[in-house]
Structure 1
Amino acid sequence: MSRLIYENSVSYRGYLIIPFVCNKIGNTFIGNGSRGKIYSYKLLAENGSRNKLHKAENPTEIYGDSIDNIIDIGKKYIDRHLIDKNLELVNKDDAFKNRYTYRNNLIIVSEEAGKYHYDHYSPESLNNIAAPKIFKSEFDCISWIKEGIDGLHLKRKVS
């Protein structure tokens, strides 16, 4: 798998659909060659690990030839999944509305009772690497994260 293309992610009905360029389908490696890129997607669920689709990789096993195409495939799957399970969204707010990409990292900032915290995902993985820290403002939260990512980036350049 190449890096997750967070900047083209789409929030949809309680899920974040995250596209990526696919290097392998099943056990078969694929090249980009003259056929162009083949896209797949991963999902993040707003209710996290309580949802069986949280961090799922392409549950449809259908691939796309563009980012827009793979996002549509993901949306159709989510619609079908919610209908099949007779589920409705518990939270009508968009849990992913305050999401940012910085140096290909995904940052999702959340607010509860005037306090801010964040989730942080690296370009290669949907494992949350956020520090357990609370902030007074969204700006303070984002500034602290950027400082940390910049520090890591600088260390890697020097090494």
Structure 2
Amino acid sequence: MSRLLYEHSVSYKGYLIIPFVFGKADNYEIYSYKLLSQIGHKSKFHKVENPGGIYGSTIDNIIDIAKEHIDQHLEFISHGDHFKSRYTYRDNLIIIFLEADKYFYDHYPPDSLNNIAAPKLFHSEYECLRWIKQGMDGLHIRHK
């Protein structure tokens, strides 16, 4: 599997659709997707790869396929966009959440949906993003 294409992710009805290149055939890329659910492990589709088993020829095509699968198998009604504050930095996905006037985040590396976020609260979205960026930049410098 190639890296997850977080920069092309789409929030849809309580899910985050994350495309990736599944493989190549005759120099054409074949796309698949993974899902995150706003209700987490309560969803049978949380962190699942391509539950419909259908692949696409473009990113837009695989997003449409994923949306159709979600529409056919909707598990809950979503209120608002749980994934609206998401960022891609150094090919990592960062999702910022606000709860009880405190900010926290989920952090997913480029190649998996394993949340590697530190359990830390922040007073603003900016403070949270700055802390994550400093940590990731420090790791990048140490690995060179």
CA shift, 1:57, in A, is 0.2
Q: In percent, how many aligned pairs have the same letter? A: 62
Please give the per-residue CA displacement for 1:83-133, whole angstroms capped at 9, x wherever unaligned: xxxx441x4111100000001000000001210000000000100000000
Q: TM-score, normalised by structure 1?
A: 0.88
Q: Secondary structure at the match of 1:143?
A: helix
Distance in structure 2 (CA, Å) of the matches to 1:115 and 1:32: 47
Q: One-letter code of the match for 2:130?
A: S
Residue 126 (structure 2) pairs with residue 148 (structure 1): no
CA shift, 1:144, in A, is 0.2
Q: TM-score, normalised by structure 2?
A: 0.96
Q: One-letter code of the match for 2:29?
A: K
More strand by share: 2
The aligned residue for residue 115 of structure 1 is 102
CA shift, 1:151, in A, is 1.0
Q: Which runs of 5+ in 2 are unaligned?
A: none
Q: 1:69 aligns with which of 61, 65, 78?
A: 61
Larger radius of gyration: 1
The aligned residue for residue 28 of structure 1 is none
Alignment coverage as a number of residue pairs: 144
Q: 2:123 aligns with which of 123, 128, 136?
A: 136
RMSD of aligned C-alpha atoms? 1.0
CA shift, 1:32, in A, is 4.7
